[in-house]
Amino acid sequence: MEVVEVSDIVAVVHDRLQSQAADKGITMQVQVADGLPPVYADKSRIAQVVANLAGNSIKFTEQGMLQIRAGFMPRDEGRVIVSVEDTGIGVPKEDLGKIFDLFYRVEKDKVYVEEGAGLGLAISREIIRAHGGTLWAESMEGMGSAFHFSIPSYQGQAAVR
Ligand SMILES: Nc1ncnc2c1ncn2[C@@H]1O[C@H](COP(=O)(O)OP(=O)(O)O)[C@@H](O)[C@H]1O
Ligand SMILES: [Mg+2]
**Ligand 1 atom 21 nearest Cα:** 116
pLDDT level of residue 56 (50, 70, 90 thresholds): very high
2-159 CATH pick, 3.40.50.720, 3.40.50.300, 3.10.28.10, 3.30.565.10: 3.30.565.10
pLDDT level of residue 66 (50, 70, 90 thresholds): very high
Looking at residue 118, what is its pLDDT? 97
Is the torsion defined by CA of 30, 73, 131, 137 positive or negative? negative
Looking at residue 76, what is its pLDDT? 76
**pTM more than 0.85:** yes
**Ligand 1 atom 22 nearest Cα:** 116
* Residue extents of the structural domains in the chain: 2-159
Residue 160: pLDDT over 70? no
Residues flanking ion ligand 2, Cβ below 5 Å: 56, 116, 120
User: Which atom number of ligand 1 is nearest to the Cα of residue 61?
Assistant: 3
User: Which atom number of ligand 1 is nearest to the Cα of residue 100?
Assistant: 17
Is the torsion defined by CA of 98, 126, 2, 159 positive or negative? positive
Looking at residue 157, what is its pLDDT? 61
Please report which ligand is nearest the Cα atom of 118.
1
DSSP per residue over 48-114, as a string?
A: HHHHHHHHHHHHT-SSEEEEEEEEEETTEEEEEEEEEEE-SS---GGGTTTTTSTT-----HHHHTS
Residue 77: pLDDT over 80? no
Residue 143: pLDDT over 90? yes
- Distance of CA 8 from the midpoint of ligand 2 (Å): 22
pLDDT level of residue 158 (50, 70, 90 thresholds): low
Contact 47, 9 (CB under 8 A): yes
| Residue 67, ligand 1, Cβ within 6 A | no
Phi-psi region of 73 (alpha: psi -120 to 50; beta: other; left: phi over 0): beta
The alpha carbon of 132 is separated from its chain's Cα centroid by a whole number of angstroms, namely 16
| Residue 102, ligand 1, Cβ within 6 A | no
